[in-house]
Structure 1
Amino acid sequence: MAILGFETDTEVQWYPMAEPEEISRAVVWLAGDGSGVITGARIPVDKGYLAR
Structure 2
Amino acid sequence: NIPLTPETARDQERRIRREIANSNERRRMQSINAGFQSLKTLIPHSDGEKLSK
Q: TM-score, normalised by structure 1?
A: 0.31
Rg (Cα) greater in structure: 2
Q: TM-score, normalised by structure 2?
A: 0.31
Higher relative contact order (CA 8 A, sep 6+): 1
Q: Give the helix-richer structure, 1 or 2.
A: 2
